[in-house]
Structure 1
Amino acid sequence: MKHSGGLLHRLGALVVIAGTALAGPVMAGAWNQPEGQGLVIVKYEPVWSSFRFDEDGDQVALLQQRQDHVLSVWGEYGLSERVTLLVKTDWQDADDGFHRYRGMGPVEIGGRWQALDKDGWQVSLQASYVSDTQGRNAAWGSAGEGEQEADLRVLAGRSFGGRYPGFYELQLAQRWRDGLADEVRAEGTLGVHFRENYMAMAQFYAGKADIESDVGGARWLTLEAGIVRHWNDWSVQAGWRATTAGRNIPAGDGPIVALWKRF
């Protein structure tokens, strides 16, 4: 799924990187990049859906399995101590039995401004613009549906110490779209270092699309669990994501593999 999105199935990319927030030199999500430093994440997300959630939230079988393969690149760079530049794009191979698309996805560009850094708390504001594409523009839509988009969100996170140090973060977002329903999203991440250079992460992506033309809007709750291993300026992530509840959306699941590089 794209941006997987959430409240975001799609902004997956925005929240997945939040899990790096306290991993040594890695900083992302509500934590800004230091001035003159950056982070690049290359991520592969295959998702298979044999069922979907209907209007009542019940699982029903799809006539044909839906497949989405997304290879994304996400980059962050600290322009100053409080401002970070954000850029993302992806390559998609999407097939839902009715529409097929293979090629480049949209380009997302934006910025994040740190509003608070106090007593372990980080609060930031983030805005981004997403260009048009013939690929998948929403987890609940078909390839080619939708045009340009704008995303505005608030990110709040806090670090903690103790035997198992870690962090937690929450993001609340509004996404406006041309050609597709607007969305409200909420996303959360919990990361805990259980061994030196190892971190366990648990995440959720939830969202709600507006109702258009008397058709019920999509709803979703996607859960993800994974492990991150760090080597100096490099990190590797492996995990599994599944949409566990929703309405008018595929009940997809699949692995996630990502490689991070700090510079």
Structure 2
Amino acid sequence: MTGPFPAASRDAGPSGSPAACFACALALAVSPHPAQASAWGRQAGTGFLAFGAEASGGAQSFGRDGRLAPTRSYAKTEGAAYAEYGVTDTLMFVARPSFDLVGLGAPAGGRYRGPGSTAIGAQYEALVYGPAVLAVQGSVALPGTASRANPAAVGNTAREADLRGLAGLAFAVGPYPAFLDLQQAYRFRSGGAAAQWHSDVTIGFRPAPRLLLMALSTTVVPLGPGTPWFPRSRSSKLGLEGVYDLTAAWSLALGASTTVYGRGALLDRGVSASLWYRF
């Protein structure tokens, strides 16, 4: 099965595939809800685990005209785990539970402390052609709370189903191995929340055998009207991630992200750290 580094297996450690790194970067940092992987799957009987935390928030928001204005403060600390496991050489299981600490400032502020979104899904590797791969994935996510009594939970109580297509390409930047991952998804949401279109792009390369650098872009477009509890929101975020391989099995990742464009969206900035294990 081909990966971003065709000469190395997914669990080859310092010289191994960056696709697992990309999966963790998305699942633990930039894209908080789905159980999301890269286009490359895993060989049967192999897996990947990640444990991380992200602190994010802001006190400005993009209005309906795209202009920034002060808003009530929002702060969130999220702890999450992420898992991939190869059931067969073409079918992979993914899962992501989380725990949230959320604070919403006045007026009508509130605090939430408890389970976050929990997502599970499966991914099928449909086609491999040389350095390129195509895959499809489906996942469902359940919210940590369905109560609308707490203002700090606003917009985060919907059940979600995510259907996406994934495409990956391995290439080289001079002497450095690199990869490009493109994903497009339609996300169904319950409770009157607008469905969403998600567009995710990641590019990564290894400037050194133990170091992987990535740039990530995520865009969310609402497909329908919002409600007071599920306000309509459009946003684009950019993230940077650095991953250092400590051993053949363990890696440490540090990242940062920010909203660069939005309509009805918070100017959200965050930092993240996570520990990864390949087996």
Q: Is this contact kept in 2: 1:189–1:201, CA < 8 A?
A: yes
In structure 2, the CA distance between the partners of 1:239 and 1:197, relative to structure 1 (3 Å rule), is same
Residue 43 of structure 1: how far off its partner (Å): 1.8
Larger Rg: 2
Find the counterpart in structure 1 of residue 78 from structure 2.
Answer: 70
Change (3 A) 1:94 1:153: same
Counterpart of 1:90 (choices 98, 102, 109) is: 98
TM-score (norm 1): 0.85
Match of 1:21 in 2: none
Q: Which runs of 5+ in 2 are unaligned?
A: 1-24
Say whether the 8 Å CA contact 2:41–2:92 is kept in structure 1. yes
1:143 and 2:150 aligned: no
Q: State how far apart, in whole Å, the 2-side matches of 1:233 and 1:117 are.
A: 26
Which stretches in structure 1 are left out of the alignment for 5+ residues?
15-27
State which of 160, 171, 196 in structure 2 corresponds to 1:160.
171
Q: How many Å apart are 1:10 and its aligned residue?
A: 3.1
Q: RMSD of the TM alignment (CA)?
A: 2.3
In the alignment, is the contact (CA less than 8 A) between 1:133 and 1:144 conserved in 2?
no
Q: Residue 10 of structure 1 is aligned with which of 32, 39, 49? A: 32
Q: In 2, Cα distance between the equivalents of 1:4 and 1:166?
A: 17
- Residues 95, 82 of structure 1: alpha-carbon distance in 2 compared, 3 angstrom cutoff: same
TM superposition shift of 1:93: 0.4
Matched residue type, 1:169? D
Output the CA distance in 1 between the equivalents of 2:31 and 2:84.
20
Give the letter aligned to residue 250 of structure 1.
L
Asked if the contact 1:185–1:206 (Cα under 8 Å) also holds between the matched residues in 2, the reply is yes
Q: What corresponds to 2:41 in structure 1? A: 32
CA distance in 1, matches of 2:260, 2:146: 24
Tell me if structure 1 keeps the 8 A contact 2:119–2:142: yes
Contact 1:222 1:243 in 2 (8 A): yes
How many aligned positions are there?
A: 241
TM-score if structure 2 supplies the norm length? 0.80
Offset at 1:134?
A: 1.6
Q: Which amino acid aligns with 1:185?
A: H
Counterpart check, 1:128 vs 2:139: yes
Aligned position for 2:122 = 111
